[in-house]
Amino acid sequence: MTRARQSLGRAGEAAVARWYLDRGYRIIEQNWRTSRGELDLLVSDGRVLVVCEVKTRTSDRFGSGFEAVTLAKQDRIRMLTRRYLAEHRWPGPVRFDVASVVSGRIDVLLDAF
């Protein structure tokens, strides 16, 4: 991955983190990594753990960020979340969101899958 793409992705993740903070969520983890993959953003409203996959694009010419989260990607996120939960105790429910950032515009699909 090029530095420009990494920078774009990090900027999108930072913008989505701010979006959640502005709505009263607390950041639990950003870019939680294992040898099997990465979870972009984990936030909480105090009860629900939200796992958010962030897709950042300069345009929607090749489709939206939402379309990029295929069933295979959803399965990978679920697997990584199970691993996260095995390492960190979380007493409440878990929700999966997807955030699409296109040219600075943030759209978040709550409870996406």
3-state secondary structure 12-45: HHHHHHHHHHHCCCEEEEEEEEECCEEEEEEEEC
For 74-89, the pLDDT digits (tens) are 999 999 999 999 999 8
For 4-38, the pLDDT digits (tens) are 888 888 999 999 999 999 999 999 999 999 999 99
Q: What is the pTM of this model?
A: 0.92
List of domains in the chain: 3-109 (3.40.1350.10)
Strand partners, 99: 54, 108
Contacts of 79 (CB under 8 A, 6+ apart): 36, 37
